[in-house]
Structure 1
Amino acid sequence: MSLDPKIVETLSAVSTATITTLLLKKGLRNVWMRGTRPLQPGQPRLVGRAFTLRFVPAREDLATPESWSSPKSTRAAIEAMPEGCIAVADAMGVTDAGIFGDILCARMVKRGVSALITDGVVRDLAGVRGTGLPVWCQGGAAPPSVAGLTFVNWQEPIACGGVAVFPDDVIVVDDDGAVLIPAALLDEVVAAAPEQENLENWIMGEVDKGAALPGLYPPNAENKARYEASKKR
Protein backbone atom coordinates (compact mmCIF):
# COMPACT_ATOMS: atom_id res chain seq x y z
CA MET A 1 0.00 0.00 0.00
CA SER A 2 1.51 3.32 -1.06
CA LEU A 3 1.81 6.23 1.32
CA ASP A 4 -0.53 9.21 1.15
CA PRO A 5 1.40 12.03 -0.57
CA LYS A 6 0.43 14.36 2.30
CA ILE A 7 2.14 12.00 4.77
CA VAL A 8 5.26 11.95 2.59
CA GLU A 9 5.23 15.75 2.39
CA THR A 10 4.84 16.12 6.15
CA LEU A 11 7.56 13.64 7.11
CA SER A 12 9.94 14.95 4.45
CA ALA A 13 10.10 18.17 6.48
CA VAL A 14 10.91 16.40 9.75
CA SER A 15 14.40 15.20 10.67
CA THR A 16 15.11 11.64 11.74
CA ALA A 17 16.46 13.10 14.98
CA THR A 18 13.06 14.63 15.74
CA ILE A 19 11.29 11.37 14.87
CA THR A 20 13.50 9.38 17.25
CA THR A 21 12.61 11.84 20.03
CA LEU A 22 8.89 11.42 19.35
CA LEU A 23 9.16 7.64 19.32
CA LEU A 24 11.23 7.71 22.52
CA LYS A 25 8.34 9.54 24.19
CA LYS A 26 6.14 6.64 23.12
CA GLY A 27 8.53 4.12 24.66
CA LEU A 28 10.36 3.03 21.48
CA ARG A 29 14.14 3.26 21.91
CA ASN A 30 15.36 0.98 19.14
CA VAL A 31 14.27 2.52 15.84
CA TRP A 32 17.52 3.84 14.32
CA MET A 33 19.25 1.34 12.03
CA ARG A 34 22.92 1.07 12.89
CA GLY A 35 25.37 1.31 10.02
CA THR A 36 23.00 3.08 7.63
CA ARG A 37 25.21 5.88 6.37
CA PRO A 38 24.63 7.86 3.17
CA LEU A 39 26.72 6.47 0.32
CA GLN A 40 27.36 9.99 -0.93
CA PRO A 41 26.76 13.50 0.40
CA GLY A 42 23.69 15.46 -0.58
CA GLN A 43 21.21 12.58 -0.64
CA PRO A 44 17.73 13.93 0.10
CA ARG A 45 15.58 13.04 3.08
CA LEU A 46 13.27 10.29 1.86
CA VAL A 47 10.08 8.70 3.15
CA GLY A 48 8.56 5.39 2.05
CA ARG A 49 7.14 2.06 3.06
CA ALA A 50 9.66 -0.67 3.77
CA PHE A 51 10.09 -3.46 1.25
CA THR A 52 12.15 -6.00 3.15
CA LEU A 53 14.85 -8.38 1.90
CA ARG A 54 16.55 -11.04 4.02
CA PHE A 55 19.96 -12.64 3.75
CA VAL A 56 21.35 -15.42 5.95
CA PRO A 57 24.95 -16.69 6.25
CA ALA A 58 26.38 -18.16 3.07
CA ARG A 59 25.97 -21.90 2.62
CA GLU A 60 28.12 -23.31 -0.12
CA ASP A 61 25.42 -25.39 -1.82
CA LEU A 62 23.03 -22.42 -1.97
CA ALA A 63 25.17 -19.29 -2.25
CA THR A 64 26.33 -19.75 -5.83
CA PRO A 65 26.24 -17.62 -8.98
CA GLU A 66 23.59 -20.05 -10.28
CA SER A 67 21.29 -18.95 -7.43
CA TRP A 68 20.93 -15.55 -9.12
CA SER A 69 18.56 -17.25 -11.59
CA SER A 70 16.45 -18.84 -8.85
CA PRO A 71 12.82 -17.79 -8.27
CA LYS A 72 14.03 -16.77 -4.77
CA SER A 73 16.65 -14.30 -5.89
CA THR A 74 17.43 -10.64 -5.45
CA ARG A 75 16.56 -10.25 -9.13
CA ALA A 76 13.05 -11.61 -8.55
CA ALA A 77 12.65 -9.49 -5.42
CA ILE A 78 13.41 -6.31 -7.34
CA GLU A 79 10.63 -7.12 -9.81
CA ALA A 80 8.20 -7.28 -6.88
CA MET A 81 9.17 -3.85 -5.50
CA PRO A 82 6.36 -1.28 -5.82
CA GLU A 83 7.00 2.26 -6.95
CA GLY A 84 7.89 4.58 -4.09
CA CYS A 85 9.01 1.87 -1.66
CA ILE A 86 12.28 1.92 0.25
CA ALA A 87 14.14 -1.38 0.00
CA VAL A 88 15.49 -2.45 3.40
CA ALA A 89 17.96 -5.34 3.31
CA ASP A 90 19.02 -7.44 6.29
CA ALA A 91 22.64 -8.27 5.48
CA MET A 92 23.47 -9.18 9.09
CA GLY A 93 26.08 -6.42 9.18
CA VAL A 94 28.34 -8.34 6.77
CA THR A 95 30.83 -5.91 5.20
CA ASP A 96 32.90 -8.15 2.90
CA ALA A 97 30.19 -9.08 0.37
CA GLY A 98 28.29 -6.47 -1.63
CA ILE A 99 24.57 -7.31 -1.67
CA PHE A 100 23.70 -5.18 -4.75
CA GLY A 101 25.73 -3.67 -7.56
CA ASP A 102 25.19 -1.16 -10.33
CA ILE A 103 22.96 -3.33 -12.55
CA LEU A 104 20.53 -4.22 -9.78
CA CYS A 105 20.43 -0.63 -8.55
CA ALA A 106 19.80 0.60 -12.10
CA ARG A 107 16.79 -1.72 -12.35
CA MET A 108 15.48 -0.42 -9.02
CA VAL A 109 15.62 3.10 -10.40
CA LYS A 110 13.62 2.00 -13.44
CA ARG A 111 10.99 0.50 -11.13
CA GLY A 112 10.67 3.75 -9.19
CA VAL A 113 12.20 2.49 -5.94
CA SER A 114 13.04 5.47 -3.70
CA ALA A 115 16.15 4.15 -1.95
CA LEU A 116 18.14 1.16 -0.73
CA ILE A 117 18.89 0.79 2.99
CA THR A 118 21.13 -1.96 4.35
CA ASP A 119 23.32 -2.74 7.32
CA GLY A 120 25.72 -4.35 4.83
CA VAL A 121 27.59 -2.99 1.83
CA VAL A 122 27.21 -2.61 -1.93
CA ARG A 123 29.64 -3.26 -4.78
CA ASP A 124 30.55 -1.43 -8.00
CA LEU A 125 30.50 1.83 -6.05
CA ALA A 126 31.13 4.15 -8.98
CA GLY A 127 28.41 2.42 -10.98
CA VAL A 128 25.95 2.45 -8.10
CA ARG A 129 26.50 6.18 -7.63
CA GLY A 130 26.02 6.62 -11.37
CA THR A 131 22.54 5.08 -11.24
CA GLY A 132 21.31 7.92 -9.04
CA LEU A 133 19.72 5.51 -6.55
CA PRO A 134 20.08 6.92 -3.02
CA VAL A 135 21.81 4.29 -0.87
CA TRP A 136 22.45 4.10 2.86
CA CYS A 137 24.89 1.36 3.87
CA GLN A 138 28.22 0.64 5.55
CA GLY A 139 30.30 1.24 2.43
CA GLY A 140 31.57 -0.89 -0.41
CA ALA A 141 33.16 -4.29 -1.06
CA ALA A 142 34.23 -5.93 -4.30
CA PRO A 143 33.04 -9.53 -3.68
CA PRO A 144 29.46 -10.45 -4.64
CA SER A 145 26.75 -11.28 -2.12
CA VAL A 146 27.22 -15.04 -2.48
CA ALA A 147 30.77 -14.70 -1.17
CA GLY A 148 29.33 -14.22 2.29
CA LEU A 149 25.53 -14.36 2.19
CA THR A 150 22.58 -16.40 0.97
CA PHE A 151 19.48 -14.51 -0.13
CA VAL A 152 16.35 -16.25 1.17
CA ASN A 153 13.23 -14.10 0.85
CA TRP A 154 11.49 -10.76 0.62
CA GLN A 155 8.55 -9.06 2.35
CA GLU A 156 8.92 -10.80 5.69
CA PRO A 157 10.09 -9.45 9.09
CA ILE A 158 13.82 -8.76 9.18
CA ALA A 159 16.47 -7.23 11.41
CA CYS A 160 18.39 -4.35 9.84
CA GLY A 161 21.02 -2.61 11.90
CA GLY A 162 19.59 -4.20 15.04
CA VAL A 163 16.05 -2.93 14.38
CA ALA A 164 13.02 -5.15 13.73
CA VAL A 165 11.51 -4.11 10.39
CA PHE A 166 8.17 -5.43 9.18
CA PRO A 167 6.88 -5.04 5.61
CA ASP A 168 4.99 -1.75 5.19
CA ASP A 169 6.52 -0.08 8.25
CA VAL A 170 7.51 3.44 7.28
CA ILE A 171 11.13 4.50 6.82
CA VAL A 172 12.46 8.04 7.05
CA VAL A 173 16.11 8.44 6.11
CA ASP A 174 18.44 11.44 5.95
CA ASP A 175 22.05 12.37 6.78
CA ASP A 176 21.69 10.82 10.26
CA GLY A 177 20.65 7.43 8.84
CA ALA A 178 17.44 5.43 8.64
CA VAL A 179 14.67 5.48 11.24
CA LEU A 180 11.66 3.17 11.39
CA ILE A 181 8.14 4.30 12.21
CA PRO A 182 5.95 1.30 13.07
CA ALA A 183 2.94 1.23 10.77
CA ALA A 184 0.56 1.25 13.74
CA LEU A 185 2.07 4.51 15.05
CA LEU A 186 2.27 6.34 11.75
CA ASP A 187 -0.75 8.58 12.24
CA GLU A 188 0.37 9.62 15.72
CA VAL A 189 3.86 10.49 14.54
CA VAL A 190 2.59 12.41 11.52
CA ALA A 191 0.28 14.42 13.77
CA ALA A 192 2.97 15.27 16.32
CA ALA A 193 6.12 15.63 14.20
CA PRO A 194 5.59 19.10 12.68
CA GLU A 195 4.85 20.63 16.10
CA GLN A 196 7.99 19.05 17.60
CA GLU A 197 10.06 20.33 14.68
CA ASN A 198 8.58 23.83 15.03
CA LEU A 199 9.29 23.86 18.75
CA GLU A 200 12.91 22.85 18.24
CA ASN A 201 13.33 25.51 15.55
CA TRP A 202 11.99 28.10 18.00
CA ILE A 203 14.40 26.88 20.67
CA MET A 204 17.27 27.16 18.21
CA GLY A 205 16.23 30.73 17.50
CA GLU A 206 16.32 31.49 21.23
CA VAL A 207 19.78 29.93 21.50
CA ASP A 208 20.95 32.11 18.63
CA LYS A 209 19.75 35.12 20.65
CA GLY A 210 21.94 34.03 23.56
CA ALA A 211 19.39 32.24 25.78
CA ALA A 212 20.68 29.72 28.33
CA LEU A 213 19.56 26.09 27.99
CA PRO A 214 18.11 25.36 31.48
CA GLY A 215 14.36 25.87 31.27
CA LEU A 216 14.59 26.29 27.50
CA TYR A 217 15.50 22.82 26.29
CA PRO A 218 13.22 21.22 27.29
CA PRO A 219 11.05 24.30 27.83
CA ASN A 220 9.56 25.06 31.23
CA ALA A 221 6.08 26.52 31.62
CA GLU A 222 7.27 30.07 31.02
CA ASN A 223 9.06 29.20 27.80
CA LYS A 224 6.20 27.02 26.63
CA ALA A 225 3.95 30.05 27.01
CA ARG A 226 6.42 32.22 25.09
CA TYR A 227 6.54 29.62 22.33
CA GLU A 228 2.74 29.46 22.11
CA ALA A 229 2.59 33.23 21.96
CA SER A 230 5.14 33.26 19.14
CA LYS A 231 2.87 31.06 17.04
CA LYS A 232 0.10 33.65 17.22
CA ARG A 233 2.26 36.45 15.90
Structure 2
Amino acid sequence: MDKFIVRGMPEQIARDDLELLSGVETATVGHWRVFGFMDRGIQGLLRGKRVVGTAVTLAIPGPDSTLLHHCIGKLRPGDILVVDRLGDNRHACWGGAVTVAAKAAGAVAGIVDGPCTDIAEIEGSDFPMWCRGLSPITTRLYALGGGFNVPVSCGGVPVLPGDAILADESGVLALPPGDVRDVAREALRRQQVGGAREEQIRQGALLGDLSGASAKISSCA
Protein backbone atom coordinates (compact mmCIF):
# COMPACT_ATOMS: atom_id res chain seq x y z
CA MET A 1 0.00 0.00 0.00
CA ASP A 2 1.26 3.47 -0.86
CA LYS A 3 2.36 5.59 2.10
CA PHE A 4 1.04 8.71 0.40
CA ILE A 5 -2.32 9.10 -1.33
CA VAL A 6 -2.54 12.23 -3.47
CA ARG A 7 -5.79 12.78 -5.35
CA GLY A 8 -7.04 15.50 -7.66
CA MET A 9 -8.57 18.77 -6.57
CA PRO A 10 -12.34 18.82 -5.91
CA GLU A 11 -14.83 20.93 -7.80
CA GLN A 12 -15.28 24.22 -6.02
CA ILE A 13 -18.57 25.36 -4.53
CA ALA A 14 -20.50 27.70 -6.83
CA ARG A 15 -19.68 31.35 -6.20
CA ASP A 16 -23.34 32.31 -5.81
CA ASP A 17 -23.82 29.66 -3.14
CA LEU A 18 -20.76 30.87 -1.21
CA GLU A 19 -21.93 34.46 -1.40
CA LEU A 20 -25.27 33.39 0.06
CA LEU A 21 -23.57 31.38 2.80
CA SER A 22 -21.22 34.24 3.68
CA GLY A 23 -24.07 36.09 5.40
CA VAL A 24 -24.85 33.17 7.70
CA GLU A 25 -23.77 32.70 11.32
CA THR A 26 -22.91 29.15 12.40
CA ALA A 27 -24.94 29.67 15.57
CA THR A 28 -28.04 30.39 13.50
CA VAL A 29 -27.71 27.03 11.74
CA GLY A 30 -27.18 25.47 15.15
CA HIS A 31 -30.76 26.40 16.07
CA TRP A 32 -32.09 23.54 13.95
CA ARG A 33 -29.35 21.50 12.29
CA VAL A 34 -27.37 18.93 14.26
CA PHE A 35 -24.99 17.56 11.62
CA GLY A 36 -21.71 18.99 10.42
CA PHE A 37 -20.58 21.04 13.43
CA MET A 38 -16.98 20.41 14.44
CA ASP A 39 -16.06 19.94 18.08
CA ARG A 40 -16.16 23.25 19.93
CA GLY A 41 -12.53 22.79 20.92
CA ILE A 42 -11.65 23.88 17.38
CA GLN A 43 -11.72 27.66 17.70
CA GLY A 44 -10.57 30.62 15.63
CA LEU A 45 -7.20 32.16 16.43
CA LEU A 46 -8.17 35.56 14.99
CA ARG A 47 -11.11 37.51 16.37
CA GLY A 48 -13.97 38.66 14.19
CA LYS A 49 -13.33 36.37 11.21
CA ARG A 50 -16.00 34.64 9.16
CA VAL A 51 -15.01 32.65 6.08
CA VAL A 52 -16.67 30.42 3.52
CA GLY A 53 -14.97 28.20 0.98
CA THR A 54 -14.43 24.79 -0.54
CA ALA A 55 -12.92 22.04 1.60
CA VAL A 56 -9.61 20.60 0.46
CA THR A 57 -8.72 17.77 2.81
CA LEU A 58 -5.52 16.41 4.27
CA ALA A 59 -4.75 13.62 6.75
CA ILE A 60 -1.27 13.50 8.30
CA PRO A 61 0.06 11.48 11.25
CA GLY A 62 1.38 12.85 14.55
CA PRO A 63 4.91 14.22 14.13
CA ASP A 64 4.96 14.37 10.32
CA SER A 65 3.99 17.21 7.95
CA THR A 66 5.74 16.08 4.78
CA LEU A 67 2.53 15.82 2.77
CA LEU A 68 1.32 19.20 4.03
CA HIS A 69 4.46 20.89 2.70
CA HIS A 70 4.12 19.05 -0.59
CA CYS A 71 0.46 19.89 -1.18
CA ILE A 72 0.11 23.41 0.23
CA GLY A 73 0.98 24.93 -3.14
CA LYS A 74 -1.90 23.08 -4.81
CA LEU A 75 -4.48 25.21 -3.01
CA ARG A 76 -6.58 27.60 -5.10
CA PRO A 77 -8.28 30.91 -4.39
CA GLY A 78 -11.38 30.14 -2.33
CA ASP A 79 -10.11 26.87 -0.85
CA ILE A 80 -10.03 26.03 2.86
CA LEU A 81 -7.57 23.34 3.91
CA VAL A 82 -9.09 20.95 6.46
CA VAL A 83 -6.42 18.92 8.26
CA ASP A 84 -7.16 15.65 10.05
CA ARG A 85 -4.33 15.03 12.52
CA LEU A 86 -5.34 11.41 13.01
CA GLY A 87 -5.78 11.85 16.75
CA ASP A 88 -2.60 13.79 17.49
CA ASN A 89 -3.01 16.82 19.77
CA ARG A 90 0.65 17.37 20.65
CA HIS A 91 2.45 18.41 17.46
CA ALA A 92 1.76 21.67 15.66
CA CYS A 93 1.76 21.03 11.92
CA TRP A 94 0.82 24.61 11.00
CA GLY A 95 3.01 27.64 11.65
CA GLY A 96 4.36 30.77 10.02
CA ALA A 97 5.81 29.30 6.83
CA VAL A 98 2.72 27.19 6.09
CA THR A 99 0.55 30.24 6.69
CA VAL A 100 2.52 32.31 4.20
CA ALA A 101 2.39 29.49 1.63
CA ALA A 102 -1.36 28.94 2.03
CA LYS A 103 -2.12 32.63 1.70
CA ALA A 104 0.15 32.96 -1.33
CA ALA A 105 -1.79 30.13 -3.00
CA GLY A 106 -5.05 31.99 -2.44
CA ALA A 107 -6.54 29.85 0.32
CA VAL A 108 -8.98 31.72 2.54
CA ALA A 109 -8.43 29.76 5.77
CA GLY A 110 -7.03 26.67 7.44
CA ILE A 111 -8.73 24.32 9.88
CA VAL A 112 -6.60 21.91 11.91
CA ASP A 113 -7.87 19.22 14.28
CA GLY A 114 -4.88 19.83 16.53
CA PRO A 115 -2.66 22.70 17.63
CA CYS A 116 -0.89 25.36 15.59
CA THR A 117 2.17 27.48 16.38
CA ASP A 118 3.67 30.87 15.46
CA ILE A 119 0.59 32.85 16.43
CA ALA A 120 2.34 36.18 15.84
CA GLU A 121 3.07 35.23 12.23
CA ILE A 122 -0.48 34.00 11.68
CA GLU A 123 -1.77 37.31 13.05
CA GLY A 124 0.75 39.23 10.97
CA SER A 125 -0.46 37.47 7.84
CA ASP A 126 -4.09 38.16 8.83
CA PHE A 127 -4.84 34.58 7.84
CA PRO A 128 -7.92 33.01 9.48
CA MET A 129 -7.08 29.79 11.32
CA TRP A 130 -9.19 27.41 13.38
CA CYS A 131 -7.43 24.85 15.57
CA ARG A 132 -7.16 23.36 19.06
CA GLY A 133 -4.94 26.05 20.50
CA LEU A 134 -1.16 26.39 20.36
CA SER A 135 1.84 24.13 20.86
CA PRO A 136 5.59 24.77 20.74
CA ILE A 137 6.26 21.18 19.61
CA THR A 138 6.29 21.09 15.82
CA THR A 139 6.05 18.41 13.17
CA ARG A 140 9.01 17.38 11.01
CA LEU A 141 9.59 15.89 7.56
CA TYR A 142 9.61 12.19 8.43
CA ALA A 143 7.69 11.05 5.33
CA LEU A 144 5.52 8.71 7.40
CA GLY A 145 2.56 8.94 5.03
CA GLY A 146 -0.81 10.61 4.68
CA GLY A 147 -3.66 11.37 2.31
CA PHE A 148 -4.57 14.46 0.26
CA ASN A 149 -8.15 15.00 -0.89
CA VAL A 150 -9.36 11.88 0.84
CA PRO A 151 -12.33 11.65 3.24
CA VAL A 152 -11.22 12.92 6.65
CA SER A 153 -12.55 13.43 10.15
CA CYS A 154 -12.10 16.89 11.67
CA GLY A 155 -13.53 17.73 15.05
CA GLY A 156 -15.59 14.55 14.94
CA VAL A 157 -17.18 15.48 11.62
CA PRO A 158 -16.67 13.62 8.33
CA VAL A 159 -15.47 16.05 5.66
CA LEU A 160 -15.23 15.19 1.97
CA PRO A 161 -13.15 17.08 -0.57
CA GLY A 162 -15.47 19.64 -2.15
CA ASP A 163 -17.71 20.15 0.89
CA ALA A 164 -18.61 23.71 1.82
CA ILE A 165 -17.08 25.19 4.96
CA LEU A 166 -18.51 28.00 7.07
CA ALA A 167 -16.33 29.12 9.97
CA ASP A 168 -16.75 32.02 12.37
CA GLU A 169 -16.18 32.95 16.02
CA SER A 170 -18.69 30.35 17.21
CA GLY A 171 -17.15 27.40 15.37
CA VAL A 172 -16.92 25.47 12.12
CA LEU A 173 -19.64 23.88 9.99
CA ALA A 174 -19.13 21.50 7.06
CA LEU A 175 -21.95 21.13 4.52
CA PRO A 176 -22.45 18.86 1.51
CA PRO A 177 -22.57 21.02 -1.64
CA GLY A 178 -26.21 20.14 -2.28
CA ASP A 179 -27.27 21.46 1.14
CA VAL A 180 -25.64 24.87 0.95
CA ARG A 181 -28.38 26.90 -0.69
CA ASP A 182 -31.26 25.55 1.41
CA VAL A 183 -29.31 25.90 4.67
CA ALA A 184 -28.19 29.42 3.83
CA ARG A 185 -31.67 30.60 2.85
CA GLU A 186 -33.24 29.21 6.02
CA ALA A 187 -30.51 30.73 8.19
CA LEU A 188 -30.85 34.15 6.57
CA ARG A 189 -34.61 34.00 7.09
CA ARG A 190 -34.14 33.18 10.77
CA GLN A 191 -31.55 35.93 11.19
CA GLN A 192 -34.01 38.45 9.77
CA VAL A 193 -36.72 37.26 12.17
CA GLY A 194 -34.24 37.34 15.04
CA GLY A 195 -33.19 40.89 14.22
CA ALA A 196 -36.80 42.03 14.23
CA ARG A 197 -37.39 40.30 17.57
CA GLU A 198 -34.37 41.99 19.15
CA GLU A 199 -35.70 45.37 18.04
CA GLN A 200 -39.05 44.56 19.68
CA ILE A 201 -37.23 43.78 22.93
CA ARG A 202 -35.36 47.07 22.75
CA GLN A 203 -38.75 48.76 22.44
CA GLY A 204 -40.00 47.08 25.62
CA ALA A 205 -41.38 43.69 24.59
CA LEU A 206 -40.57 40.72 26.87
CA LEU A 207 -38.47 37.90 25.48
CA GLY A 208 -40.58 35.28 27.24
CA ASP A 209 -43.73 36.60 25.57
CA LEU A 210 -42.15 36.68 22.12
CA SER A 211 -40.56 33.25 22.34
CA GLY A 212 -43.55 31.55 23.91
CA ALA A 213 -41.59 30.56 27.02
CA SER A 214 -43.87 32.52 29.36
CA ALA A 215 -46.95 30.82 27.93
CA LYS A 216 -45.36 27.43 28.57
CA ILE A 217 -44.63 28.37 32.18
CA SER A 218 -48.20 29.60 32.67
CA SER A 219 -49.65 26.36 31.29
CA CYS A 220 -47.65 24.38 33.85
CA ALA A 221 -48.72 26.50 36.82
The answer to whether TM tops 0.5 is yes
1:20 is matched with 30
Aligned-residue offset at 1:146: 4.2
Q: In 1, Cα distance between the equivalents of 2:198 and 2:205?
A: 9
Residues 1:121 and 2:104 are matched in the alignment: no
| Counterpart mapping for 1:92-131 below 5 A | 92=86, 94-131=88-125
1:45 is matched with 50
Aligned-residue offset at 1:173: 0.7
SS in 2 for 1:97: coil
Contact 2:62 2:91 in 1 (8 A): no
Taking only the aligned residue pairs, the percentage that are identical comes to 27
Contact 2:13 2:163 in 1 (8 A): no
How many residue pairs match? The answer is 203
Unmatched segments (≥5 aa) in structure 2: 1-10, 214-221
Label 1:151 to 1:108 Cα distance change in 2 as closer, same or farther (>3 A).
farther
SS in 2 for 1:52: strand
Q: In 2, Cα distance between the equivalents of 1:120 and 1:39?
A: 13
Aligned-residue offset at 1:23: 2.3
RMSD: 2.5
Label 1:151 to 1:21 Cα distance change in 2 as closer, same or farther (>3 A).
farther
Q: In 1, Cα distance between the equivalents of 2:98 and 2:212?
A: 46
Aligned-residue offset at 1:14: 1.4
**TM norm structure 1:** 0.77
Aligned-residue offset at 1:19: 1.8
Amino acid at match of 2:41: G
Residues 1:138 and 2:99 are matched in the alignment: no
Q: In 2, Cα distance between the equivalents of 1:22 and 1:82?
A: 32
Label 1:33 to 1:182 Cα distance change in 2 as closer, same or farther (>3 A).
farther
| Range with greater deviation from structure 2 (7-16 or 101-110) | 7-16
Label 1:143 to 1:6 Cα distance change in 2 as closer, same or farther (>3 A).
same
Contact 1:20 1:179 in 2 (8 A): no
SS in 1 for 2:210: coil
Label 1:6 to 1:56 Cα distance change in 2 as closer, same or farther (>3 A).
same
Aligned-residue offset at 1:215: 5.1
1:77 is matched with 71
Contact 1:56 1:149 in 2 (8 A): no
